[in-house]
Amino acid sequence: MKKTKTYIKLGVLLAMGVHLTGCTDLDETIYSNIKTENFYNNKLEVNQAALRPFTHMQAWLAPTGQNGYYYHSELSADQLAWPQKGRHGYDGGDHFRLHYHTWTDNESRLRGAWGLMWMGLGLVNNAIADIEGLDIAKIGLTEQERTTLVAQLKVMRGFHYLKIMDLWGNVPIVTKVADPINPETRPRAEVFQFVEQEFVENIPLLPVTSAQNIGQINMAAGYAMLSELYLNAEKWTGTARWDDCIAACDKIISGQAGGIGGAPKLSPDINSLFSNTNDANPESLFQFQYSRKAGFTFDWGGFFMGYDNIKDVLKVGYGGWNAFVVIPTAFDAFADNDLRKKDWFLFGPQYKYGTTDPVLGTEEWDGKPFAYVNSIRRESEGDLTSEGSMAEGEENSGARFNKYKSGTLDDANYQENDYIIYRLTEIYFNKAEALMRKNGGTATTEAVALVNESRKRAFSAADWPTAQYTVSSLTLNEMLEERGREFIFEGKRRTDMIRFGKFTNGTWWDHKPTNDANKELFAIPANQRAINPNLDQNPGY
C-alpha cells in the first residue's frame, strides 16, 4: 500500500492546534503530496527525516527566543525574571503573571509552548512511522541501522513526553499522526508509565556514547533522561523510585553508557563546558551542536543580553531585548568567594572590552556610566531602599547572564558554543539526592562526596576547607540551594522547586507564596480545549 506524506502528516496533531509557523527560526519545507517511497531514496534522506525532530527541539528547549519549555520553567521559578524596565518589557503582563503565578488558560506564550512541543512530538511520530514502513533493501539500509534509528526516535518521543508531562501533567498519549483526531487526556501516572516503557525498551538499543556520535540520542543521553524521570517519580506518580534513579545514574557514572573520549568525567573548571570550544567536552552527555560557521547559531542574545551597549562590553556583534535578569535573592544565594558568582554573571560597572572606559546607559542612565545592580527598583529616581517589584525595573536592574561565552568577534571560534542539555554534574546531583531521600533526608558520605566533587571547582584551594559540605551541612534544603547555584540558567529550576515542595509555598524577592498546589501544573490552553473537546482542564483553572 502506498503511503502519502501530506501537509497534515508533517504538521501533525492539528486537532491539538499545532501549526507549522511555530518554529519560526527554522526553514520549513512543506510537501503537499509526496509519496514516502519517492521521498526516501537513500540513507542520507532517512537520516535527515530522523534528525528533523531533533533540530526542532531547539525551538522549545533551548533559550533561543522561543516561548517554549525554557521560558516557562525559568520565569515561574525563583532565579530569573523579566521585569518591566521603564517603557520596555511589560508585554501585556505576560512575564508578571508567570512570576506571580497568576497565569490563566489563555496565555499566548503558553499556547506557543504547547504548539511547539506537540509539533515536535508529531514530527517524531511521523518519522517513526515512515522509517518503520520503509522497504530498506531498496535504499541500502540494514535492519540494524533501522532498529537504531527507531530506538533513537522512540527515546526522543519519551523525552518530549517527559517535558510535556512536567508542564501539564495529564495529557493525551499519541503515537500515530492524527490518530485519533481528538485524543483523550490520560492521567499523569499513565503518561509516566508510557515514558518509562519507551526508555527501558529502547535505551539498550542506542549506540554507546562516543566522540563519533556527539549530539545524537545515544546511551548516556538516554540514561540521563531516565534518571530525571525516576528522580521526579514520587511527585509525578505518588511512588518514589530512588533505587531506579540511582541505577540509571550508575550506568553513566560507571562508564557503561560510554562518554565523549571514553567514560564521562567532570570538566576541571566551571567555564570550559560552556565555552565556544565545548563541542567535545567530556562532561557533556547530551547537547545541541550549534555552529555559527554552519549557519545554526546558539543565539541566547534575545533573552539574555542587554541593549546594544553590551556589544562594546563583550566585543560581540549581538545585543538583546534586555529581558531576563537575575532575581536579587538568587544572586545573594552565591557566596562572595564563589567563583561562579564572579564568572557566570555580568555585574557592577561595565567597561568597553579591554579598557577602563565606561559603557554608558541609554535609557534611565542615558549618557551616564552603566553598572548592573542587584536590585529591581527605580534607583535613577532616588529609590535606593525599597524591595522593588516587577513593574519598577530599569535598564541596569539585576545581575545578568554570562555563563555561556561566545568569545569576541575576532575569535576563531566566535559563537561556536553548543547548548548542553544534560551533563555529568547533574547525574552526580541526582544520585546524591536519591541517596539522601532514601536515608530519610539525611546526607550520606557518598552523597556528600558526589556534590563536593562538583562544588570544589567553584572555590579556590584556600577557601575550599570551609566551603566544602559535610554530612551535617548538606541538608535537603541546602541541596536545593546548591542545585540552584550550579544549574542556574540551565532550564531546570521549576522542576527542582516542585520536587522539593518550594514552588507554590516559597518566597523570593517580591514573590509571595500562593499556597495553591494547582499551580504546580500549567493550564491546558483554552484554544486547545476548544479544538479538542476530549482535553480535560487541569484542576484550579
Is residue 392 over pLDDT 70? Answer: yes
Torsion of CA 94, 99, 102, 103, to 10 degrees: 40
Q: How far apart are CA 397 and CA 407, in angstroms?
A: 24
Is residue 192 over pLDDT 60? Answer: yes
Model confidence band, residue 35 (pLDDT cutoffs 50, 70, 90): low
Is residue 2 over pLDDT 50? Answer: no
Q: Which of 187, 222, 250 is the last residue of a domain?
A: 187
Please work out, in degrees rounded to the nearest 5, the angle formed at the alpha carbon of residue 470 by the alpha carbons of 465 and 475.
130
Predicted local confidence at residue 25, as pLDDT: 40
**Is the residue at 437 inside a domain?**
no
**Is the residue at 252 inside a domain?**
no
* More confident site: 30 or 225: 225
Alpha-carbon separation of residue 406 from 10, 120, 280, 296, 347 (angstroms): 34, 28, 16, 14, 18
Q: Which three cell numbers stand for residue 280?
A: 567535545
Is residue 28 over pLDDT 60? Answer: no
Q: Which of 401, 421, 456 is the last residue of a domain?
A: 401
**Is the residue at 107 inside a domain?**
yes
**Is the residue at 121 inside a domain?**
yes
Global pTM reads 0.92
Q: Domain of 362? A: 300-401
Least confident of 30-44, 99-113, 165-179: 30-44
Predicted local confidence at residue 38, as pLDDT: 61
Is residue 29 over pLDDT 60? Answer: no
In this structure, are residues 307 and 322 in contact, taking their beta carbons and an 8 Å threshold? yes
Which tens digits make up the pLDDT trace of 417-465? 999 999 999 999 999 999 999 999 999 999 999 999 999 999 999 999 9
Based on the fold, state whether residues 49 and 174 are members of the same structural domain.
Answer: yes
Number of neighbours of residue 277 by Cβ within 10 angstroms: 14
* Contacts of 258 by beta carbon, 8 Å cutoff, 6+ apart: 208, 209, 210, 218, 219, 220
**Is the residue at 469 inside a domain?**
no
Number of neighbours of residue 280 by Cβ within 10 angstroms: 12
Is residue 26 over pLDDT 60? Answer: no
Count the domains in the chain: 2
What single DSSP character describes residue 377? S
Q: Which of 187, 211, 231 is the last residue of a domain?
A: 187
Which tens digits make up the pLDDT trace of 354-384? 999 999 999 999 999 999 999 999 999 999 9
Based on the fold, state whether residues 181 and 308 are members of the same structural domain.
Answer: no
Is residue 143 over pLDDT 80? Answer: yes
**Is the residue at 308 inside a domain?**
yes
Is residue 503 over pLDDT 80? Answer: yes
Is residue 216 over pLDDT 60? Answer: yes
φ and ψ of 118, to 5 deg: -75, -30
**DSSP code per residue over 324-344:** -EE-HHHHHTS-TT-HHHHHS
Q: What is the mean pLDDT of the chain?
A: 92
What's 93's domain CATH number? 1.25.40.390
Predicted local confidence at residue 177, as pLDDT: 87
**Is the residue at 317 inside a domain?**
yes
Q: How far apart are CA 186 and CA 171, in angstroms?
A: 5
Which tens digits make up the pLDDT trace of 280-299? 999 999 999 999 999 999 99
* More confident site: 249 or 42: 249
Based on the fold, state whether residues 50 and 183 are members of the same structural domain.
Answer: yes
**Is the residue at 463 inside a domain?**
no
Is residue 52 over pLDDT 60? Answer: yes
Based on the fold, state whether residues 175 and 308 are members of the same structural domain.
Answer: no
Interval 338-342 mean pLDDT = 98
Predicted local confidence at residue 14, as pLDDT: 27
Is residue 348 over pLDDT 80? Answer: yes
